[in-house]
Amino acid sequence: MSYIEIDDSEIAIDAPITNNLITKLRDNLDAIKNGDSSAPQTTTHGKTSIINRDVLKRSTPTAGTYIIWHSQSSADGDDSSVLSCYVDTAGEYKIEVNARHGQTENTGDQLPLNHTGTVSLRVTDHSDDTTTVLQTDTINRFEAANYSIDRNFATADQTIFLKVEANGDRMRMVFSLSIGVADSDTMYGIDVRGNLT
């Protein structure tokens, strides 16, 4: 079944609920579910989504402290680890990074003073395959990197990467990445997913 636009007059205040309107609603849901070419769709890395999230979206996201995505990880001695978050809705987001050094399971051992960790936050725009480094920090013993960046994505199809490297055989880096918006209503229609690397 094809997707049929519903006219504003059909859903106006005091407009009657007609058999024609109910039939359009039923057929439109089927068209969306079945991926009919006439129905609203989005494409995410070559995969077609069931529904165009712009139809659901109440407002354009603005950066804030309402967390809509969060993940954490660690990297141990001379190793690295990456957290990634895919954003498929244009708007402004607060990207929050928390990283600190720690010890491995050998808790009785003291960390050498020269052991450090590196924290790198970057964004890849898949529409033009460009990567932007937002911030890079080196964390020494007893130090931490805690900061947030308000980032505006003019287009969708962006991936935020947080890469952390532990430099030293007994070095452990513990870190987290959070994405926030200004209010809870904004979350409707936002597509933010993690760990696509």
- Exposed, middle or buried by CB within 10 Å (0-12, 13-18, 19+), for 145? buried
Q: How far apart are CA 144 and CA 181, in angstroms?
A: 24
Give the confidence band of 149 by pLDDT, cuts at 50, 70, 90: very high
The confidence score (pLDDT) of residue 58 equals 59
Segment (H or E) for 32: helix 19-33
Give the confidence band of 150 by pLDDT, cuts at 50, 70, 90: very high
Highest-scoring range by mean pLDDT, 10-24, 58-72, 98-112, 121-135: 10-24
Find the range with the poorest average confidence among 4-8, 32-36, 56-60, 90-94.
Answer: 56-60
**Does residue 39 contact residue 49 with C-beta atoms inside 8 Å?**
no
The confidence score (pLDDT) of residue 187 equals 64
CATH number for region 63-194: 2.60.120.680
Q: What is the pTM of this model?
A: 0.63
Give the confidence band of 105 by pLDDT, cuts at 50, 70, 90: very low
Long-range contacts: 4-12, Cβ < 8 Å, 24+? 4/28
